[in-house]
Amino acid sequence: MQHSGFFLVDKPKGFTSNRVLQDIRKSLSVQSSAYPQKYGHAGTLDSFASGLLIILTGKITRLSRWFMHQNKEYEAVFRFGEETDTLDPQGKIMAIGELPARETLERIIPSFCGNIEQIPPSYSAVHVGGERSYKIARAGNKPEISPRSIIIHDIELESFQEKEATLRIRCSSGTYIRSLARDIGHACGSCATVISLRRTVIGPFSISEAHSPQECNEKSIRVFSPDIAQSLGLATAVIKLDFVEHFIHGGTLPAKAVTLDCDQMTLFRNPDFSFESKPVALFSEKGELLGIAEQKDKEYAPRVVMAEEPR
C-alpha cells in the first residue's frame, strides 16, 4: 500500500525548497517502499529563507493549488539604506540611501496594507515572454514584469534598531516580501533589502506543527481528511457507495449521490449563501478522499479525481 498525504516541514536556511523535497523523497524511499514516487511542494521559499514548507506526496500532489492559494505569515528583517540586485542578502549592493526615521517608517507602513499592486523581483521565477525573469536578469538585462494584485492584511513593526526593522507580515498568496521591502524603502525616501525571512503560517497551518526534514516519516505524514479540506476552504461531502465507481471514472454526480457534511447544512438553509461553483472535496464512506468536484445546478462535476478504487 502506498501512502499519500503531506508533510509540514521547517525548511532550514541555505537550502532550496527542491533540495529539501529531494532529501525527504530519498529518505522516505529508504525507510519504506510504501511511499509513492510522486512528490511536490505547495509554494517555495527562497534559499536564504527558513520556515514552513508543505511537501505533498502521491495523489495529494494533485491538490497543490488548494494548499498554495492560502494566506501566509512571515517574520522578516528589512535592512534600510542598502538595496541588492536580488533584494536579499545573497545579492550585490546596487543602491545606497539615507536611513529613515522610525516615525517615517511607522507613517508609511499603513499605506502598504490592503489591496495593492506589486511588481515581483527581477530575480524571481516569474515568466516574462516565455522565459524566467531571473534568467533575463542574470544575462544582464532588465525584465519587464507587469504588476500583480496582492493583499497585505497586516504589517506589524516589532522593532527598529539602527538600520534594521523586524516586521511581522500577513499577506495573500503571491506576495513577494523582497518586493515589499524594496517598495517600502523607496516610499521612505531610502532603499531596503530583506536580510532575514521566516515563514510561520500557511493558511490553517503553523510552524509550530512543522518537523525538520530529518523527522519526516510515517509518524509525521498528514492525511487529507475532511477537517483539513474544510480548513483549506473546501466544502466536504460523502459519496454514497453506489455512485463511487461512476465518479472515479469521471462521471458527474446527481445531488442524491452525496451527503453533505452535517456542519455545513446550516449554510444551505441560509438564502444568502450558495455553493454554486464552490469546490467540494468528496470522500468515501470510510473517509478516503476520492476527488474534488464543482457543485453546479444541483450536480457535482469532477475537477480532480483520485483514480484509485477505495479500500
Instruction: Identify the residue whose cell numbers are 477505495.
Output: 310
**pLDDT > 70 in the chain, percent:** 90
Determine the Cα angle at 141 with ends 184 and 76, to 5°. 25
Question: Does residue 32 or residue 232 have the better pLDDT?
Answer: 232
Catalytic residue status for 46: yes
pLDDT at 270: 41
d(CA 58, CA 47): 25
SS3 call for 97:
coil
pTM of the predicted model as reported, rounded to 2 decimal places: 0.89
pLDDT score recorded for residue 273? 40
How far, in Å, CA of 9 to CA of 24, rounded? 10
Q: What local confidence, expressed as pLDDT, does residue 308 receive? A: 57
Question: What mean pLDDT do residues 153-182 have?
Answer: 97
Query: Which of 10, 46, 183, 261 is flagged as catalytic?
Result: 46
Tell which residue, 30, 24, 27, 29, has the closest CA to residue 8: 24
Residue 201 has pLDDT above 70, yes or no: yes
> What are the pLDDT digits (tens) for 260-309?
875 554 444 444 444 455 789 999 999 899 999 998 878 899 999 986 54
Report which listed range, 101-115, 215-229, 286-300, is most confident: 101-115
Cβ–Cβ < 8 Å for 277, 234 = no
Ordered structural domains, the chain, with CATH: 5-70+204-215 (3.30.2350.10), 72-202 (3.30.2350.10), 226-305 (2.30.130.10)
Q: In 9-30, which positions are buried (b, 16+ CB within 10 angstroms) versus exposed (e)?
A: bbbeeebebeebbeebbeebee
- CA dist list (Å): 79 to 48, 102, 181, 190, 194: 15, 13, 9, 11, 6
Task: Note the pLDDT of residue 33.
Answer: 67
